[in-house]
Chains A and B, each alone.
Chain A
Amino acid sequence: MTEPAQVERAQAEAPDAIRVENLSKSFGVVRALEDVSLHLRPGEVLGLIGDNGAGKSTLVKILTGFHKPDSGTIHVFGEEVQLKSVSHARSLGIDTVFQDLALVPGMTVYHNMFLNREATRGIGPIRFLNNRVMKRRSREYLEDIGVRVPSIDAEVARMSGGQRQAIAIARSTHSDARIILLDEPLAAMGAREGALIIELIAELRKRSDVSMIVIAHNYVHVLELCDRVNLLHNGRIVLDKRTDETTVEELTNIVAAEYRVASTA
């Protein structure tokens, strides 16, 4: 799916996939985000860590067009945007993948993959589903990114949590989504299930046409999966490092130090 032109452009001009500057957001008296700036390079996987209440989900909800920021700017691929709604964000290529929200359990894998973008054939306005094409393309695409499911014809209801999430991610990347926000992709998932998602993210990481922000609790996973990590604490970014320049110990210590500061302040 990597179009050469796109790669060239990304390498030549290389505006950030997302550039957030001085973003603030309050809910009543609660300051959820304070002067947050972050950027996501094209093709990059950025880990976003931080405790509950640090502002991670507020940030994600702003980037998906669900909340509007009080102040600050957002650039998507170099252009400043005011994200008006979830569908507006999606039209710009920003997609959030939640575990259970996106898929229709009673439908097959390939119908889910093509929901609302179905392949059809027919004459004029009389059109019928082209299941053969949708099956073939789904199978090829899933194979291409290394997602294995028991059967492309099987209902999603029969898939495990990890498989469902993998299908949801695959559907996003298969459509025009170029920036994918993964909200706790490994939460509530066993080791085997988690491995499926970790492999998928690693596979997508090799591509230059998909950029990802992965929200996670597990520092080991973040260091393994991501190119860079940002640590949110009390609504501020307190750390921005490449994952090969930091360790689990360092991240743990920084978080502990932030807490000491917070408790003495």
Chain B
Amino acid sequence: MAQAATNAQPPLPQRAGFGRRVAAALVRRREASILVILLALIAYFSVRTDAFFGTDNAQVIAEFSAPIAIIAAGEVMLLICGEIDLSVGMVFAFSTWIFYFANTDWNLPILLAVVLGLLSGSLVGLVNGLITVFLRVPSFITTLGMAYVLNGLTLNISGAFPVEPPGGHTFFRYFGAPPYVTVYWALGVIVVMTILLTRTRWGLHTVATGGNLLGASESGVNVHAIKVGNFVLCSTLGALAGIIESVRIDTIQALQGGFPLMFYAVAAAVIGGTSLFGGSGTIVGAALGVLVLAVLNLGFTLQGISAYWFDFVLGIAIIVSMALNVTLERIRQSGRLGGAT
């Protein structure tokens, strides 16, 4: 067959040195650059603080990270398809109370109570998604409103007093026993969500929806279903995180989670290379972003730096990583360093 029809790009020159190849890898693999930052932070704190490097601290980091990583996985799916969920931190509290009441007041078996808690999260996501997609309210507004609605509801039904989560020893062992059960859940969520995003039609259509809404829908992708589905997914993961985290710390509070937890998750996703413009992002990148937050948090604490500075650095990290992300995207698209290998 005639191959004359070409605009074949000349192959990249082979003189690429080590530095250039590393740079190319960093540009190509979004997760690589954030991994480098994470390792640098760990190295820095290890040198600066003797207390940093140890199993106790690894445990602290892991426990801190688990619920955020679970929620971040949901936010990544939503951000990729061009939406956001600001209410998931409130679902974290609300659905945990539903779980509590389902077992204690409504006398449902504990596992059924968990299912009901998760379903309450799914329902919130469904409402978020339907309002956003069919009433065409921007998800920022839909979920902001939903956040306040849920917070008000949670304060009312809880009476604003903390309680102990229900469940016996076996339940405890599988649904949140410290130190590592929540971490196992988080790892499981990361694996499953990564497969969903990168290996299934759902994931591909999520990317297509965020990358070219009109083009995707003209290709027959059901962009409405994709968006609503990802709202449901994100909220359900919020409910899961809330339930297992409450079991781990042995307390259910009305004000747990909330906006701070949600913003950590969104920040982690952004630091991990997910674009707020939609169309790109990875679950693993977001998980690494969570670890960056956790290492910063712990490192600052151990150094005796005020927690106020944590927010300061977090803010800078968000802005820098977003600027870096946009710049890298430009470099990638220009084809420099990109080497089609």
Contacts and interface: CB of A to CB of B under 8 A. Distances in A.
Interface string B298-341: 00000000000000000000000000000000001101001011
Nearest to A193: B7
Contacts of A120: 201
Instruction: Say what secondary structure dominates the interface of chain B.
Output: loop
B195 to A, nearest CB: 8
Contacts of B114: none
What is the size category of the interface that chain B forms with chain A? 20 to 34
A148 B7 contact: yes
B3 A146 contact: yes
A264 interface: no
A116 B205 contact: yes
A179 interface: no
Interface in A131-154: 143-148, 150-151, 153-154
A87 interface: yes
A184 interface: no
A157 B5 contact: no
Contacts of B204: 107, 111, 115, 118, 129
Nearest to B198: A129
B340 A150 contact: yes
Given A102-B218, A103-B215, A106-B207, A162 B7 contact: yes
Contact of A144 (B1, B7, B205, B335): B1
Interface in A192-239: 192-193, 195-196, 199-200, 203
Contact of B216 (A104, A143, A145, A163): A104
A105 interface: yes
A195 B1 contact: no
Contact of B1 (A101, A104, A143, A150): A143
Nearest to B205: A116
A151 B204 CA distance: 19
Nearest to B275: A106
Nearest to B6: A148
B135 interface: no
B5 A147 contact: yes
A195 B8 CA distance: 12
Contacts of B216: 104, 115-116
B156 interface: no
B1 A146 contact: yes
Contacts of A155: 332-333
Contacts of B195: 128
A148 B8 contact: yes
Interface in B1-41: 1-9
Contacts of A154: 338, 340
Contacts of A162: 7
A153 B340 contact: yes
The 10 A-B pairs of least Cβ separation, nearest first, read A199-B5, A151-B340, A104-B211, A146-B5, A106-B279, A106-B211, A116-B220, A104-B212, A148-B6, A154-B340
Given A105-B211, A196-B5, 19 more contacts: A86-B218, A101-B215, A107-B207, A115-B204, A116-B216, A118-B201, A127-B201, A128-B200, A146-B4, A147-B5, A148-B3, A148-B6, A154-B340, A158-B340, A162-B7, A163-B7, A193-B7, A199-B5, A203-B2
